[in-house]
Each structure stands twice: as structure tokens, then as C-alpha cells.
Amino acid sequence: MKTIRDNLVTKFEHLLVVKRKTMDDRQSPATRLAGDAPVGNGLLPRHVVIAMDGNGRWAQRRNQIRTAGHRAGAGVARDIILAARQIGIEVLTLYAFSMENWGRDPREVSIILEELLPKALSDHANEFNQLGIRIEILGEKKMLSERTQHVIEEVMSATRENTGLIVNVAVSYSGRLEILNAVRRVIGALEQEQIALTDLDEALFARFLDSGHLPFPDLYIRCGGVNRISNFMLWQMAYTEIVPLDILWPDFRPEHLYHAIRTYQRQPRKFGLVPDHP
Ligand code: FPP
């Protein structure tokens, strides 16, 4: 039987950007095994995040301009997406461009957002579609140019019905802003009496996030040799396992993904509890 809260959730569900079944137990580990994949036989992370960091340094080490690193980095994404799909990851988030990145040289910003991102999306749209991969974009899309928004819309709508791997590309993204936007939606829902203040708890709040339909990240692969969160999914990453890798993104290969997953599989997830306590 539906509870009052379920009814309330149904009432405001239309506010969420993507209308798909929300997952209640967002931080539970996956139950599927990796099979014969090149990762361990332990539980797979359902949602893997990778920060595509280190493009600039990769280029500088080769005496090339920074955008050469972004170009090389854009070429790496496809192989990692296919590897994630092959081992059965449910959601792969690629953190491509933060809100703070807007402060970079406009020429660098333009090459990333006007050239490389739309090209990477449109070049592989058909292939991803055939493989059942769904492309989503998380972030302030309205800050992007009309042309880039158009490419994004086309790829998202072409892959919307796909039920395989979700590739969630974070662009013009800020974790703090995602929380603030959720607060604004909550206030709207309260004002319109779609929810009551007494119903508001952590689970309900999380549904108002732009990424509220996704499971929380289980594994955050921080490549580029830094250990920062960098304003990413601040609400959702409360219990995410972070695996920093001293690999610059253009050098990132499927083996690094498998290695990070094996590291994840060795770390017992406690969620603040004491293991084996009844
Ligand atoms: C971070 O490296 C990378 C970026 C800010 C841009 C990444 C985006 C792309 C490669 C565009 C294509 C996107 C997809 C999803 C295919 P950095 O410049 O901060 O490196 P640094 O730390 O060495 O300076």
C-alpha cells in the first residue's frame, strides 16, 4: 500500500528533470557480480565517477599547449565508457567541466565546450545508441552556447529510452549549486503544498537534486594525482569511496578503471557502522 509520503513523492515527481524510477536505497552496493570481467569477484560499484583531471599537465609535459591535452583527453572517454559498460557498471559519471572552470582563458573554455564536447557526443551517439547507452548531462546547461545545447539535446533525446549504462557527463557543474537548486525546488514544493515540512528528510531532499534519479556514487576515481573533491556531488558523496590515481586523464586506460574497482572491492564499506556487529 502506498504511504502518504509515497503519494507526496508522486505529486512532485514531475519537478525532477528525468522521469525515471527513483532508487530508494541509493548508497547500497551493487548486487551483481563482475563475472569474468577483469575486476575482482566482489561487489561492483553501481555508480563510478571519474574526474577527467590532468589534461593541461599532460600537454605541458610534452611542451604542447593545454588544449592539446584536452584533445587527447576527449579521445580517451569512449574506451572508458565501453569498458564500464562491458563490466556492468550502472552509471558512469565523467566530471568534464566545473563551474569554476569558466574562469579559465576563454579560448581554452571555447575549445572544450564548443568543439571537443559536442564533437565527442555527436561522433559516438550512434555507437552508444546501438550499445544501449544513455547519455545524460548534469550541470547548468543554459550557460552553454545554443549550438552546444542543441547537440546535447539531440544526443540525450536519441538515447533517452536506452536502459543500459548511463553515461552522465558533468558540464558547467557545481555541487554546491546543485544543492542550492534543490533547496529552491523544495521551497517551491512546500509553497505549493506538494510536500509538508514534516515529510522532509534526507531521502526526500535527495530526490530534488538534479541527479536525484541516480544512485549515489560508490566510487570516485580522482585521477591527475590530486586528492580533492573539487565541488563534486557534495551531498551524494557522503560515503563514496575515493580512489586517487596518479595518472593524467589522457593516459587513463581501461586497466586503470579496473585497478580502481579492485581497490574499491578491497575496502570494506562500513557507512559508519562496526562490521559484524549484530
Ligand atoms: C581537466 O584537466 C579537464 C578539463 C577541464 C576538460 C575536460 C573535457 C574534455 C576533454 C572535453 C571532452 C569531454 C568529454 C566528456 C569527452 P585540467 O585542464 O584541469 O588539467 P590540469 O590539472 O593538468 O591543469
Q: What is the pLDDT of residues 86-125, one digit of tens each?
A: 999 999 999 999 999 999 999 999 999 999 999 999 999 9
Neighbours of 59 (CB within 10 A): 21
Rounded to the nearest angstrom, the distance between the alpha carbon of 22 and the centre of ligand 1 is: 30
For residue 176, CA distances in Å to 13, 199, 211 come to 22, 23, 13
Read off the pLDDT of residues 178-215 as tens digits, 9 standing for 90 and up.
999 999 999 999 999 999 999 999 999 999 999 999 99
Report the C-alpha gap between 246 and 255 in whole angstroms. 13
Ligand 1: does its nearest atom lie under 6 Å from the Cβ of 52? yes
- Please tell me the pTM assigned to this model: 0.87
Output the pLDDT for position 278: 65
Task: Supply 277's cell numbers.
Answer: 556487529
Q: Is residue 248 part of a domain?
A: yes
Q: What is the pLDDT of residue 37?
A: 56
Catalytic residue (one of 25, 101, 105, 276): 101
Q: Which amino acid is at 79?
A: D
Counting as low any pLDDT under 70, the low residues of the chain are 1-37, 277-278
Does residue 5 belong to any structural domain of this protein? no
Enumerate residues 6+ apart whose C-beta is below 8 A from 237: 49, 216, 217, 220, 229
Domain membership flag for residue 147: yes
Expressed in angstroms and rounded, the spacing between residue 163 Cα and the centre of ligand 1 is 28
If you take atom 8 of ligand 1, which residue's CA is the nearest one? 96
Characterize 214-230 residue by residue with b for buried, 16 or more Cβ atoms within 10 angstroms of its Cβ, and e for exposed.
Answer: bbbbbbbbbbbeeeeeb
- Catalytic residue check, 181: no
Q: Active site includes 7?
A: no
| Interatomic CA distance for residues 143 and 136, integer angstroms | 16
Task: Considering the candidates 7, 24, 53, 276, report the single residue annotated as catalytic.
Answer: 53
| Number of independent structural domains in the chain | 1
Domain membership flag for residue 17? no
Residue 245 domain flag: yes
Q: Could you tell me the distance, in angstroms and rounded to a whole number, from the CA of residue 87 to the centre of ligand 1?
A: 25
The CA distance from 192 to 111, in Å, is 43
Counting other chains too, the contacts that 197-206 makes at CB distance below 8 Å and 24 or more residues apart are 199/4, 199/5, 199/8, 203/24, 204/5, 204/9, 205/235, 206/26, 206/235, 206/236
Are the beta carbons of 164 and 91 closer than 8 angstroms? no
Residue 236 sits in which domain range?
42-174+215-265
Q: Which amino acid is at 51?
A: A
Any idea what the CATH number is for the domain that residue 77 is in? 3.40.1180.10
Domain assignment present for residue 198? The answer is no
Per-residue model confidence (pLDDT) at position 267: 85
In a domain, 256, yes or no: yes
**Residue 88: inside a domain, yes or no?**
yes
